[in-house]
Amino acid sequence: MKSLKAKFKKNEDWSKSDERLLQAVEQNEPDKVAALIVKKGLCPTKLDAEGKSA
């Protein structure tokens, strides 16, 4: 059970790629958003420390 919790927690860590995704959304760059999601396998519904999502 601990390994399952660790996997979920690990997925919620905010990475540099997640920051780039949020920045692309804020700058209204849909091509860059799509590329980041596909290329990096990012989750646009992940929340950052402030509770924001892409």
Q: What's the rounded Cα separation, in Å, for the pair 41 and 54?
A: 13
What is the reported pLDDT for 28?
95
Range of the domain at 35: 16-54
| Residue position matching structure tokens 């509770």 | 51
Query: How many domains is the chain partitioned into structurally?
Result: 1
Name the H helices within 1-54: 2-11, 16-26, 30-40
pLDDT tens digits, 5-52: 454 455 567 789 888 988 999 999 999 999 988 988 888 888 777 777
Judge whether 4 lies within some domain: no
Residue 10 lies in a domain: no
pTM of the full predicted structure? 0.63
Does the residue 2 lie in any domain?
no
Q: Which structure tokens are listed for 17?
A: 């790629």
Confidence (pLDDT) at 52:
77
